[in-house]
Amino acid sequence: MRVLVTGASGFLGRAVAARLVAQGHRVSTLQRTSSTVRGAADILGTVTDGPVVARAVAGHDAVVHLAAKVSLAGDPADFERVNVGGTRLLLDAAAAAGVGRFVQVSSPSVAHHGASIVGEDAAPADPARARGDYARTKAAAELLALGRDAADLHVVAVRPHLVWGPGDTQLVRRVVERARAGRLPLLGHGAALIDSTYVDNAAGAVAAALGAADRVHGRAYVVTNGEPRPVAELLAGICRAAGVRPPAWRVPPALARAAGGAVELAWRVRPGTDEPPMTRFLAEQLSTAHWFDQRRTRRDLGWSPEVSVDEGLARLAGGPAGS
């Protein structure tokens, strides 16, 4: 298959592109900087640029769309433009170019209202109730993509949850840097069960969804390792793998949520160059359970995770994030 992967300079995008190359697909990648994926043809550009998108999509059988503005804070208009606008441009281009498959890489946060998720399957995306600009715009984008599912354009949404692994600039680097600076608190007792996804497993699931798109199109799948762990244990595991001391100080979840809300406001009024240390969304993510029923995902996609949490942590210790 000729596959266009967007956002391939990102942590997961790179892994997806590399896997598709390894599977023998002809892979092009669209992102602002080089993907560094060996064997893939780089197209440099942004998903918000219509003509660039149209040219990039042309000639492909499938699009795997990962490019997104992923951040804990920022201008809401930017989220809208990149996450919703970019998706729309890609879908339009895909339809125009006769692309048959479209994998929308989404996030479980599109259906997360702030309460605990305990063993549930993917709920419908819900922009109105999603928490924060990222989740809200990703929810709108997923609805948009699944709404375009048709007999000649098979759209499937995949929602990997908390992707991590060596080279991760999102979760792992944030955790490690904050822990190193002594700025990583535990919220409450840290026992809330949180599912996560080792990067290779997430890439495998995206590739599996691409392969299964003709069977499972029109649906959304949450993807995780299926190994929920107490949040404190997961964070401590990442810290240990990176050789930093795990967090030892605790903040009550309610306080963290309040602080997160205040910080969000402050960043909005006077955006800094760094990220806010805490947002309401992050506070909720770290103090409530969220783990999922993976049976439908595994059955429908014909996929199961290859790397366990423990194995992943061992690889992390030997990888670049640890150094």
Which span sits near another protein by CB under 8 A: 46-54, 105-113, 137-145, 190-198? 190-198
Smallest gap from Cβ 237 to another protein, in A, equals 8
Left if phi > 0, otherwise alpha if psi is -120 to 50, otherwise beta: which for 49? beta
Which span sits near another protein by CB under 8 A: 28-36, 184-192, 258-266, 268-276? 184-192
192 is an interface residue for another protein by CB under 8 A: yes
Smallest gap from Cβ 192 to another protein, in A, equals 4
Residues 30-59 that bind another protein (CB under 8 A): none
Q: How many CB atoms lie within 10 A of CB 33?
A: 9
Q: Which of 160, 190, 211, 247 binds another protein (CB under 8 A)?
A: 190
Which span sits near another protein by CB under 8 A: 74-82, 186-194, 202-210, 216-224? 186-194
Question: Does the active-site annotation cover 134?
Answer: yes
**SS3 at position 62:** strand
Nearest of 12, 84, 25 to residue 60 by alpha carbon: 25
The answer to whether 209 touches 216, Cβ cutoff 8 Å, is yes
Q: Which of 166, 188, 305, 312 binds another protein (CB under 8 A)?
A: 188
Smallest gap from Cβ 134 to another protein, in A, equals 21
Between CA 172 and CA 85 the distance in angstroms is 29
The answer to whether 171 touches 195, Cβ cutoff 8 Å, is no
Q: Which of 79, 221, 291, 303 binds another protein (CB under 8 A)?
A: 291
Between CA 109 and CA 137 the distance in angstroms is 10
Between CA 47 and CA 231 the distance in angstroms is 34
In the set 134, 221, 267, 291, the catalytic residue is 134
Between CA 210 and CA 187 the distance in angstroms is 37
Smallest gap from Cβ 114 to another protein, in A, equals 11
Say how far residue 163 (Cα) sits from the centre of its chain. 6
Any idea what DSSP says for residue 28? E
Q: Which of 2, 32, 183, 189 binds another protein (CB under 8 A)?
A: 189
Q: How far is CA 76 from CA 20, 88, 239, 290, in A?
A: 33, 17, 32, 25
DSSP secondary structure string for all residues of 228-296: -EEHHHHHHHHHHHHTSPPP--EE-HHHHHHHHHHHHHHHHHS--SSPPS--HHHHHHHHS-EEE--HH
Q: How far is CA 186 from CA 43, 60, 180, 287, in A?
A: 42, 46, 14, 9
Residues 72-91 that bind another protein (CB under 8 A): none
Residues 292-321 that bind another protein (CB under 8 A): 293-295, 308
Q: Which of 191, 254, 262, 266 binds another protein (CB under 8 A)?
A: 191
134 is an interface residue for another protein by CB under 8 A: no
Q: Judged by CB under 8 A, how many residues of this single chain contact another protein? A: 29
Residues 98-117 that bind another protein (CB under 8 A): 116
Smallest gap from Cβ 310 to another protein, in A, equals 8
Between CA 105 and CA 53 the distance in angstroms is 17
61 is an interface residue for another protein by CB under 8 A: no
Structure tokens at 207: 């590739």
Residues 225-284 that bind another protein (CB under 8 A): 226-230, 232-233, 236-237, 240, 253
Smallest gap from Cβ 236 to another protein, in A, equals 6
Question: What residue has token string 């949520």?
Answer: 257
Active site (catalytic) residues: 134
List residues near another protein by CB under 8 A. Answer: 116, 118-120, 188-193, 226-230, 232-233, 236-237, 240, 253, 287-289, 291, 293-295, 308
